[in-house]
Every structure is written in structure tokens, then in C-alpha cells.
Structure 1
Amino acid sequence: MFHFHKPNNKRNLEPKATLSLKSKMIILISLLILGIFILLTWFLHSFISNTIEDQVGKRALSVAQSVANIPEISSAFELNHPASVIQEIVAPIQEETAAEFIVVGNKEGIRYSHPDPGRIGEKMIGGDNARALQEGEAYVSQSEGSLGLSIRGKVPVRDETGNIIGVVSVGFLNEDVQSIIANQSKSLWLTMIGIVVLGIAGAIFIAHHIKKLLFNMEPKDISYLLLQKEAILQSTHEGMIAVDHNGMITMINKAAKQILFREDQQFEHVSGKSIDQFIPNTGLFEVLKSGKSQYDKEMIFGESIVLVNQVPVYMEGKIAGAVSTFRKKTEIEHVTQELQQIKQYANAQRAQTHEFSNSLYTILGLLQLGEREEAIDFIKKKRNIQEKQSQILTKHAADPVVQGLLQGKINQANELGVTISIHPDSQLNHVYGGDKQETLITGIGNMLENALEAVKGNQEKERQINLFFTDIGDDIVVEVDDSGQGISEEAAAHIFEQGYSTKGEKNRGIGLALTQHAVQKQGGQIMLEEGEMGGACFVMIIPKNGGDSDEGQHTGSYY
């Protein structure tokens, strides 16, 4: 099983950068926060300044309009000394409104009122009266007068007939306005500085958390590991599929796609899809549920027979997914074929050794008893039986590999007290090679093995198996009939399913599934019929010219 562990920080795959990922994140996030702080503060300061200046201007204009509308002000313009009346009216208003100045002047700009009485009678300074005196507008302006730079409200003074006879100027010094703006902005700056401090603290926390999630690895280490692991996954000859805890594919390498899909199939994007959509009955869901690994399990993936290893992936003590690795059985077929033949030869030799040992003891006993003629007759009888059996196999099957398989199974049956009878009309006239020979050997071997299992529990006289095979027509037909208990209808519906076994034992139910797969790959079929001997009867049909091409197929001779 796989477990995720933190990598050793003391061994870096790549030289470290000048700044670590954590430092970079803190600096970049802090710079971002500072940039936003500067822009936002500048905007808010400008907004507050403009707002206050606008409010002060409107206030100055409102006071100027109130003064200009006082009847006594316009009436005073007709007096010989207007200032004496106007100054008395304006002074209390100025004090009440906290204006820096309220100046009333005539059309020539001569002052009739001023905060400094000594300047009454002098010309108004600023040069911003033209619009009020000439066009009769009421407006706000900013100009420098005798008291300094100020925001002014300008309103024309009219007589009873509506003619412009003067102007009222109400002002607030810019210095006082900026003082108000500074007081208002102070709380803004304190708030923004607090936000920046919290933002930098948040940047440190985020950087620390992300670095922890990345197992304290640097980006270059992660990218290097990713490239390295991707190269390993894609270069291996074994197919690999990884799924998450829901059975969704998270990774599949090139070898797996080649095994699962044909060349004409386009399955580039399989990540994020359920494994059952592509490989039914993989057993991965069982691994995810139980957490138990499966090793060297023979299964059918796509159109290939594969050997599968499946293990769970643990993360922080919980199952986070599973990984399945598999390889085509055909890639190690030469090894398995040799082992199969060795096993068959070993079974045959074991049976022959056992039988030969019994024969030797029998001959030894006869000689010790002085029955020389009986010993000679016994030897001749055994020799005739052996020659007859060899002649029967040679007569019925031209392929020496098939002969060896049948000899091994007959010897195995003799040990179990089972009789295998070859139908006298059976004949295989051709020697088959390649996949067709492998399919033929697999089919005959598995069907006879199942038949032996079915009849070995019977009484000795009832342990019978009949074998028939022929390739006279366009097909190779093999029929195995036994005297066992047979197969129920319920079991017959699942008998060719991978993993299903009538014995109810684990790691069984593979032989017939593999046989069906191999036969179907050759364009043939395997069927279950009711046997004439009361048991099961399996019939395998393989087209001689169907499926994969044969290597070295030729007509054999019986003699």
C-alpha cells in the first residue's frame, strides 16, 4: 500500500532559489496590499478633500446669497456712506457663520465691508468678480485675496428694479479648509494602516499554510518531482491506473491505454470518469472498501488477459484512493507456457513414477516367488498397454503439444481413479501454432481440469470423462463430457463470468473465463450443454481460419 510522507528537506532535488516560496508569497501579498492601500487611500483622500471643499464652497455661496438678499444692503448703496450701514449689518453675520470674511463691494469693486475696517473703501483683490458684476451669476471660486488663498462664494447685489449694483463675497481660508480635511483624514489613515497590518499578518499565515500543504517543498522541487514521476509512469511497460476514494480515475499512463483501448478508439480524456466505465469488475472498489491489497490476480482488461496488482493509497490514515498495475499475460507467455509444460510433464512423470514403482514391486514379488513366467507376461502386458496408449494419442492428434497435454491429463486421471476415454472418431490433422495453439491448449486443459474436479467425488466406477475433438471441417471442435453432478441453471448463467465458481472458493472461477476470452478472440465460442453421462458437457468451437493468424500451421501425419 502507498502512504504519502513529507519529503526530506535536507535533500533538495534542485538548488534553492534566493528567496523561499514562503518569503516570496509574504513579500508579493504584502506589496499587493500596500499597492491597494496607496491607491485606495489616495482615492479616499481626494474624495474627502473634494467633498469638504465642495461643502465649504456651497456654504460660502449660501451665506453670500443670504447677505445679498437683505433689503437693507441694497438700500444702503443709495446712501452717501454705504459702508457705515453695510459694515454694521455684515459683521454679526460673519461672526455667526464663522466665515473668514464677508465683503460687499460696488460695481467698481470698492469695499463697503471688510473684517479689517481699515481696508474699507479699498478695491477688492482677486479679480474674480466679473461673472457676478457683468453676467449676474452666483458661483464659487478659489482665489487669493488680502487675507490669503480662500474659497469664495460670489453673489451679485441687485436694486429694486433688478439692476446689478454690487457684489457680495463670502470666503473661507484654504488653510482652514485643509485643516478640516486633515482632521477628517486622520481616522482614515489609522483605519487603513490597521488594514495593512492585518493584511500582512494574513499574508504570513497564508504563506505558512500553503507551504505546509506542499510539505515545505519549493516550486522547483515540486515541478522536478512531477516531471520525474510523469516520465517514470509513461516509460514503464506496466499499465498503471490510479483512482480516488470514489473510484474516479485520477491518473492513467500510456501503457494502460494501449492495453485497454484499441488503436481506432479515442480515449484521450479519461481522468475524472468512473473506472467501471472502462473496466467492469476490476476489484478496485473492493480494495477501496476493505483496504486489502490484491496481488498477481489474473483478469481480463479490454481484450487482453492481464496479471493485476491492486493496492490502496492512504493519506493521513484514511484511504484516499487505490492504484492498479497490470501487464499483459502474453508478454510473459513464453515463461508461463514453459512452466505449464513443465507442470504437465511433472504430473505425467509423477504418475508414471508411481505406476512404475508399483510395477517394479509387482515384478520383484513375482521373481521372489519363483513365478518367472508370470513376471515376463506382466512386463509384456505393461509394455503393450504403454505402446497402445501412445499409438492412440499419435493416431488421434498430430500435434505433439496436444499429445503431451493429453498424456499428462490421462496420467493425472489415472492417479485420481478417473477414466478418460477418447472417442474413436476424434482426430486433429493439423499442427497449430501461435495464438490458435495456445487457445486450443488452454481450452482442452481447462475443460479437462473442470471435468476431473467434477467427477473425483463420485464412486470409483462412475468417474468417467469422454473426450471428442476434430478439425475435419472449417472449425476445430472439442467436446468434454463428464459423469459429475452437472451444473444448475442458476450457475450456468454465471459459469463463464470471471471470479464465479460453483465451489464457492476464493481465487477460483478464472479458467473458464480465460478460456472463453481466448476462444472469442479467435472468433469462436464455448458452450455448456447437458451431458449424455448425467454431468456437464462443454463444447469449444474455434474457426480454423478465424481470429489471429497461426504460425507454422501444417498438415500432420498419423504415421
Structure 2
Amino acid sequence: MLSAPAGATVGAVKSAPPPPADGRRPPAAPHRRTRPWPWLRLRTRTLLLQCAVVTLVVCTAFGAFAHDSEQRLTREYQQRALAVARTLAGEADIRAAVARWSDAADRPGGGAAHASRATLVNGALNSRAETVRRRTDALFVVLTDDRGIRLSHPDAAELGRRVSTDPSAALSGHEELARHRAHLGEEVVAKVPVRAPGSRRVVGEANVGVSAASVHAEQTRVLLSGLGWLVAALLVGLAASVLLARRWKRLTLGLEPEELATLVQEQEAVLHGIGEGVLALDTRDRVTVANDEVRTLLGIEAVPGTPVRELGLTPRVRSVLREPDAGRAAMAVVGERVLVVSARTVRREGRRLGTLLTVRDRTAVESLTRQLDAVRTMSAALRAQRHEFANRLHVLSGLVHSDRPEQAAGYLDSLLVSGPLGETLPDPDPRAVRDASLRAFLSAKAAAARERGVTLVVGGGTWVPRAVTAPVDVTTVLGNLVDNAVDAAQAGRRTPRRVEVELIGVDDALLATVADSGDGVAATRRHDLFDEGASTKEPDADALGGRGVGLPLARQIARARGGDLRLTAPGAPPAPAGPSEEAPPGTTAAAADSAPDNTADGAPDDRVTGGAVFVARLPGVLACADEPPRDEAPDETPSDEDPTDEPPGEGPTGEDPAHEPPGEGPTGEDPAREGRTGDAPPRESPTDDPPEHPV
């Protein structure tokens, strides 16, 4: 038989972990207290506890009532016995008879102690005492002399004997009430002194006793009558405990205290851990719950108990709270953030509990949306350029196959001096917009507008000689204005549909003017044009939060930089032409009479009139480095006289004279460009005077 090695513990399941190297004992695991009676739920434990408390209270009250009733009955029977004893001791014949027995006891061989029992039994005192005892239902009525010898007693054998209790108090002239046990049982006794007739001398005592059994019987009757009230009170208390337990269950949703604590902790963690803002209001529109995210997004304190009118919410957010069941989210601009807010009414069992406002930050999504919109615009521009280049290649292919090399070479030369903006912007100066990203943005917007049947032109006064340092803000403001202008021009009744953009750089500020040929802004919409959610367009079900965000966001960006965005000319829809005159395209009849003559040498007017005009001022978006004046720009050719150094409209257009075909006019236009095939319509010569914009 194998024996266990020394030091091994027989039957051990696993060995103890080795002690730490430093000799210190590892800290003991925290003791987890277990609740008593884990098999009982909170409702059951509460019910049992309440029942125990109710039972204890009722029983204690009943015990106090029983003790009080016993004391009360004892005093009542004592007073009854005292009254009988006083009456008996006050009768004259009783006083005289007792006085004779007391005087006889002073003589040798006299007194009740030496009298025969028959004499005492048949005596007047015993007869009178028995009559009183039977009438008052007393236990005994005893008369004694001044030595305590019984002169009357219910038991004849006790006559002539000394009383069993101390008679000294009564014989001293004092009344006494006592409760003690004698040979007749437990009794309540009243002792009254008997005085001699006509004097204060005590000659004996009158003892009247009432059995304690009578007191107990009366007390039992009283307690039995109160027992019914006891049971009724106990039942009412138990019923109230059951109802309270049920209500507690409804209020706690049937959860245990541990579950409630865990639920509160989890909800608190979720409430402050989610990326959305949550603001809860009660039925009186006071804040009840607000997480950290909603305080950050809305820029409010939101202390519980604060009325919603004191939170400083924007009008857009307040309008969402006023209509909590609108069924869709709304976009709001708060500070530099674009938020999606939604509100709903919280109800439980058909009862309104309050309003819940959820806020989501859409600033990053809006930035991605703008970038995606730029990509889409660029792809549309590339698609238009691909189509345009395909048409040019078709023309070039036709000239080559028709054996016209000179015309093909001239056509190629004309293509070299044109670019993406050359098809959409009239005679642009390459240095008018120095920033490449801004030129690409305008080119993309022009291509996208052309696909929608709208011509986007750059005003002749455009001059931005510095690089853009805040392209996101510039493209956001300018993009919203251009998009709105293209929408207005496309929906308007004037033709041709045109949008004009003029950009002027003043120090580090950019002044942008956007005009369209649309029907203008209605008078009913001018007061809330820059309010969040307000829009002159039809609602778009696919747009998250609806329309009415672009202009408020653009104005918010402009004002955040110390600038502004405003509507300088609301415009008006075109009026029908009169029968005797024909209004020019794109102008109203009134405008045709008052418009200045901006044509030169018969060239048509390129100004965009009739629609709305928006002006934006964006400080701090251009580079602060000093730029050389326009007439002292660095030459791009070794020639001493670079024609590109002259501002537009004051000299040559900057085209290479070697590439100018014969017959070129004074404006520098290439007749070959007017007659070439392609998607773009023939270009019109610019006016001599650049359009004047209210900046």
C-alpha cells in the first residue's frame, strides 16, 4: 500500500499558491455580503416585514389596552368597595353596636373574643353585614372591634377570630385600599374606620372585599369586545401592506434593489457615454436629465430644474421642441456646429411624462458631404470636359481627314490658348484668380451649372491676387451661394439663365458677390431667409433634416470670421412685355427702360439682372504675405513688354499675337473660336464697363 508523501494533504483538490517572494501575504478578496433570504424577492420581503410590523404594533397596542383596562377595572371595584364600606361604617346602629363590643372587650372575660359563636352569628352586626354583602355582590363584608376581632363574616367559623390582614391603618383612623390574597382568594379590599357615636374615637373597622375573579371576568368581557377591533385593525394593516407592496412593484417595474442600482449605473454610463446629446424635459418644460454631450453641442448649462426658456436655445431648436411629434429630424446651426435635432413626446400608459430632445453632431458629416459634393462637381466637370474634348477631337479629325492641315493647325492653336474656364468664363485673366483651388472650384461649378442649362460667368471686376488660406470656409460660403443661384436661375422664367460671380480680394478679406437671373426672393420670405429651416425651395424628402441650412450656415461662418452675408437685392419675377415693345431677354420691361447702355460696338450685354444678389465678406481667408501690384507682376516671358501685365479690358487679352488669325477685332476675340463646333454656345464679347456690385 502506497503512503502519501510527507507534508501532503490527503484529499486536497488543488495545491495552495506559493507565497510571494517578498514574504507579504496577498490581500484578501473583498467579502461580498449576501442578502438574507436570497430566495425571497423584494416584494415578498417587504410584505412580510410590513405584516410583522403591523402585527407587532397591533399586539403591543392590545397589550397596553389590556393592562390599562385591568388597572381601570381594579380602581373601579376598589372605589365600589370603598363606597360600600363608608356607607356601612357611617350607619348609627352599626357604630353603636361596634362601640359596645369594643367597650366589652375592655372588661375581663368580655368582648367578641369570649362571646359564643352563636351569639355572633345571630347578632345584628352579622345579619346587617350579610344583607349588604348579598346586595352589593361583594366577596365579604367584615366588621371588627378595635382589636381586629371579627364581628361579622360570611364564614361562621371565622367569627370571633382576628382578621388575617393588618388592621392598624384603619384602626388608626385612615382609609385603606389594597389588593391581596386571603383565604377566600385574591381580593380587592377597602378598609374604613368605624367611630363611636358622637365622637372621633375609632372603635373598629369595616372591611369590604370584592373578588379579583369578578375583575378578571369584567376585563375578559372588555378584551373580547376589543379583540374584534384588534382583528379588524390587523386585517386593514395587512391589506394596506399588500397594496403598498403591489404599488412598489409597479414603481420599481418588478426589479430588485440590486437590479435597480445596476440599472441606474448602466443607464448613467450609457447616457454620458453615447455620442448623442440627450435632453429630457418634464411636463412643465423643466430640465430633468441632460448628458455632457448635449451641454457641449448646444453650449448650455442645463442644470436639472431649469426652465427651458432660460437655457438660451436657438430659435430652430426651440421650434423643434414646440412640435415634438413632427415625425422627422431637423437641422440646426449652433455656433460652428451643424446639428440634427429631433424631439418626441414620452408617454407611459397613456400619460404624458415629458419631452425628449436628441441632438446629433453632423459637422463632420457635413464636411464629408461638402467634400463629396466637390468630388461630384469635379466628376461632372470632367464628364463635361470629356464630352467637350471628344467634340474637339471630332472636329480635328474631320479637318485632318478632309486634307485641311492649315485649318487643323489653326484650330489646334486656338485650343492651346483656351482652358477649362475658357468655355464658361468670358475672357478670364489667368491672374484674376491666383489660387488654383479656387479656380478649379469655379470651373467645376461652371461645368455643373452648364449641364443644368445655366451659364456661370465671372464678373469683370474679379481680382483675387493672393492664395486662399481657409478653403473650406470659402468653398462652403461660395458653394452655397452658387448652388442657390443656379437653382434660382434654373427655376426662373428669364432666359438666358445666368449666374454671375465676382470675387475681390481686399487685404486678407474676400468680397464675394453672387447674382442670378431667377425670379428673385419673394417678399414673404425675406424676413426669415437666413433662419434655420427656412427655404424658398420645395421640401426634399431625401434630404436629412430638410432644407434651409445652407444660408444660415454660410452666414454663421462669415460672422464667425468677423464678416457678414446679406441679401442686397431681392430681385423680382419678369413682367410680361408690352404689345408695342419687346423686352430684351433676361430683363423686365421696367428694367429695359432704366438699364444703362452697357454695349459697345453692338456687342450684347453680359450683365445678370433681375434676380437676387447676395454679398458675402470673409475676413482672414486670404494670405497676408505682400503680393506685387498687378502691373508689376513677374513676367512669364523674357520679353520686356508682357501683354499679360495689363488689367483686363485695358489692353491686349494676353493671347500670343503669333496665334491670332487674320481679321481679329479690337477686343482680341478669335473668330475661329466663335465658329468652332462644340457644346458651348458662341461666346459674347464682354462689356467695356464691369458690372457694379453693392459690396
- My pick for the range that moved more, 475-484 or 325-334, is 325-334
Corresponding residue number in structure 1 for 2:289: 251
Any idea what the Cα deviations from partners look like across 1:240-293, whole Å, max 9, x if unmatched?
33455776544322222222227xxxx362357448845343365477435x35
CA–CA separation in structure 2 for the residues paired with 1:449 and 1:497: 18
Gaps of 5+ in 2: 1-33, 102-110, 113-119, 541-545, 572-608, 635-695
Q: Within 5 Å, which residues of 2 pair with 1:157-172?
A: 157-158=194-195, 159-172=197-210
- Give the secondary-structure state (helix, strand or coil) at the position aligned to 1:79: helix
Corresponding residue number in structure 1 for 2:557: 518
CA–CA separation in structure 2 for the residues paired with 1:430 and 1:163: 138
Any idea what the Cα deviations from partners look like across 1:511-543, whole Å, max 9, x if unmatched?
111122222333332222226833322222233
- Give the secondary-structure state (helix, strand or coil) at the position aligned to 2:325: helix
| Percent of aligned pairs sharing the same letter | 23
Any idea what the Cα deviations from partners look like across 1:128-174, whole Å, max 9, x if unmatched?
x544443x444532223342322223333344344444333322122
Any idea what the Cα deviations from partners look like across 1:289-343, whole Å, max 9, x if unmatched?
35x353xx43224653224466665645887666544343344566345323313
CA–CA separation in structure 2 for the residues paired with 1:493 and 1:514: 17
CA–CA separation in structure 2 for the residues paired with 1:259 and 1:306: 8
* Preserved contact between residue 99 and residue 204 of structure 2 (Cα < 8 Å): no
CA–CA separation in structure 2 for the residues paired with 1:350 and 1:320: 56
CA–CA separation in structure 1 for the residues paired with 2:429 and 2:344: 46
Corresponding residue number in structure 2 for 1:47: 68
- How far residue 496 of structure 1 moved from its aligned partner, in angstroms, is 0.9
Corresponding residue number in structure 2 for 1:466: 500
- My pick for the range that moved more, 229-238 or 510-519, is 229-238
Q: 1:341 to 1:126 in 2, by over 3 A?
A: farther
- How far residue 175 of structure 1 moved from its aligned partner, in angstroms, is 2.8
Residue 260 (structure 1) aligned with residue 298 (structure 2): yes
Corresponding residue number in structure 1 for 2:38: 17
CA–CA separation in structure 1 for the residues paired with 2:561 and 2:489: 30
Gaps of 5+ in 1: 1-13
The one-letter amino acid of 1:412's match is: A
* Preserved contact between residue 477 and residue 541 of structure 1 (Cα < 8 Å): yes
Any idea what the Cα deviations from partners look like across 1:355-390, whole Å, max 9, x if unmatched?
445545555666677776666555544553426649
Aligned match for 2:136, one of 81, 84, 97 = 97
Residue 66 (structure 1) aligned with residue 105 (structure 2): no
In terms of fraction of residues, the more helix-rich structure is 1
If asked which structure has higher relative contact order (CA below 8 Å, sep 6+), I would say 1
Residue 141 (structure 1) aligned with residue 206 (structure 2): no
Q: 1:74 to 1:445 in 2, by over 3 A?
A: same
Corresponding residue number in structure 1 for 2:675: none
- How far residue 206 of structure 1 moved from its aligned partner, in angstroms, is 4.2
CA–CA separation in structure 2 for the residues paired with 1:497 and 1:554: 37
* Preserved contact between residue 522 and residue 542 of structure 1 (Cα < 8 Å): yes
Any idea what the Cα deviations from partners look like across 1:423-458, whole Å, max 9, x if unmatched?
33333344444xx54332211111112222222233
Corresponding residue number in structure 2 for 1:328: 361
In terms of fraction of residues, the more strand-rich structure is 1
Q: 1:378 to 1:324 in 2, by over 3 A?
A: farther
Residue 352 (structure 1) aligned with residue 373 (structure 2): no
Q: 1:387 to 1:30 in 2, by over 3 A?
A: closer
CA–CA separation in structure 2 for the residues paired with 1:320 and 1:370: 86
Q: Within 5 Å, which residues of 2 pair with 1:259-338?
A: 259-261=297-299, 267=301, 269-270=303-304, 273-274=307-308, 277-280=311-314, 281-282=316-317, 285=321, 288-290=324-326, 292-294=327-329, 297-301=330-334, 304-308=337-341, 315=348, 323-332=356-365, 335-338=368-371
Any idea what the Cα deviations from partners look like across 1:170-195, whole Å, max 9, x if unmatched?
22122331232123212333442454
- My pick for the range that moved more, 221-230 or 372-381, is 372-381
CA–CA separation in structure 1 for the residues paired with 2:519 and 2:564: 24
Corresponding residue number in structure 2 for 1:150: 187
* Preserved contact between residue 432 and residue 554 of structure 1 (Cα < 8 Å): no
CA–CA separation in structure 2 for the residues paired with 1:232 and 1:207: 30
Any idea what the Cα deviations from partners look like across 1:448-502, whole Å, max 9, x if unmatched?
1222222223356453433233342464332223333332444221111111112
Q: 1:312 to 1:498 in 2, by over 3 A?
A: same
The one-letter amino acid of 1:87's match is: N
Provide the alpha-carbon RMSD of the alignment. 3.8
Q: TM-score scaled by structure 2?
A: 0.66
* Preserved contact between residue 302 and residue 311 of structure 2 (Cα < 8 Å): no
CA–CA separation in structure 1 for the residues paired with 2:493 and 2:408: 32
- Give the secondary-structure state (helix, strand or coil) at the position aligned to 1:59: helix
* Preserved contact between residue 466 and residue 627 of structure 2 (Cα < 8 Å): yes
Q: TM-score scaled by structure 1?
A: 0.81
CA–CA separation in structure 1 for the residues paired with 2:176 and 2:466: 117
How many residues matched?
530
CA–CA separation in structure 1 for the residues paired with 2:494 and 2:445: 17
Q: Within 5 Å, which residues of 2 pair with 1:164-243?
A: 164-197=202-235, 199-200=237-238, 202-204=240-242, 206-208=244-246, 210-211=248-249, 214-243=252-281
Larger Rg belongs to: 2
The one-letter amino acid of 2:361's match is: K
- My pick for the range that moved more, 422-431 or 511-520, is 422-431
Q: 1:362 to 1:152 in 2, by over 3 A?
A: farther
- Give the secondary-structure state (helix, strand or coil) at the position aligned to 1:395: coil
CA–CA separation in structure 1 for the residues paired with 2:415 and 2:310: 58
Corresponding residue number in structure 2 for 1:396: 432
CA–CA separation in structure 2 for the residues paired with 1:509 and 1:387: 32
- My pick for the range that moved more, 372-381 or 516-525, is 372-381
The one-letter amino acid of 1:51's match is: R
